[in-house]
Amino acid sequence: MKTSTRKSQNLQSWAGYGGAVHDTVMEVVGRTVSPGGRVLDVACGPGALSQRLHAEGFSVVAADAFPEVFTLHSEIPFVEMNVEKEWSCVTGPFDAVVAVEIIEHCENPYLFVRKCYSVLAPDGVLVLTTPNAAHYTSRIMFLLSGVFELYSPKSFSSRTLSGNGAVLPPHIHAYTGWMIRSNLERAGFEEIDFSSCTNWLNGLPPVPRRPLNLLRYLSHRFLGTMASPLMRSPAKDSIFSKNIIASGRKPARDSI
């Protein structure tokens, strides 16, 4: 199935980098899930990814703990669901589960992945994304400051509010590719694969205006340029992709 890279016309993706995460997720779903397959969009937010999946002909069920954030109630079936609690409100099985930028907010990430596994049909696919603590600019920042670029103390104490004033969960965990692989393997997933959504150039933050931030930006770019010939690696090594985008398949022999 050829998947469109067209972005949602009306909704802004909460995943960063100009929709690159959603673009990659759409590509992975397009090549791993049969046309018209049933897809659960976990922690769907406003619904930008749900909208794209729906437009491509997938049978989408959107789920989130904050229904006031979701904007497509008249277009796509929606289930109010707290991923940390009971999943009985979701009627499986699904051919795919997409979990974009949510596992880093979960108190029990291993239970979360097992829950995703439980609602999949045999041979179903989980596509999971999370900010990448092993990105090369994050490694440089950690070396210099002891703080990962995408997992700062501020992100762990965030007080972002939903539309009705509820507090959205902050970051709780930081991840590298091998950590995500271990989690998927422990849940029973097979055929685990990784995709990149950025390279060493477009994974850099926008050029800042403040002098100290500009100096940091230039040092990251210089070090990345010098190191890039030495760090050429497949996506699974998670050096250049700002976000980890992992997929795993539930064994066909598994029964519901």
Position 49, amino acid: L
DSSP 8-state assignment for residue 167: B
pLDDT of residue 1: 45
What are the angstrom distances between the C-alpha of 159 and each of 126, 171, 252? 29, 11, 42
pLDDT of residue 48: 94
What are the angstrom distances between the C-alpha of 196 and each of 21, 68, 111? 9, 32, 25
Distance CA 6, CA 16 (A): 16
Main-chain dihedrals φ then ψ at residue 190, nearest 5 degrees: -125, 175
Report the DSSP pairing between strands 59-64 and 190-195: unpaired
pLDDT of residue 18: 53
Report the DSSP pairing between strands 78-80 and 120-131: unpaired
Does this model's pTM top 0.85? My answer is: no
Q: Where are the domains of the chain?
A: 20-135+150-206+234-249
Are 58 and 29 in contact by the 8 Å Cβ rule? The answer is: yes
Look up residue 90 and give its two tokens: 């979701």
Distance CA 183, CA 221 (A): 32
pLDDT in tens, the chain (256 residues): 444 444 444 555 555 555 889 999 999 999 999 999 999 999 999 999 999 999 999 999 999 999 998 999 999 999 999 999 989 999 989 999 999 999 999 999 999 999 999 999 999 999 999 999 888 888 888 888 888 877 877 777 776 655 666 667 778 899 999 999 999 999 999 999 998 887 555 555 555 555 656 666 666 666 655 555 544 444 445 677 889 999 999 999 865 5
CATH code linked to domain 20-135+150-206+234-249: 3.40.50.150
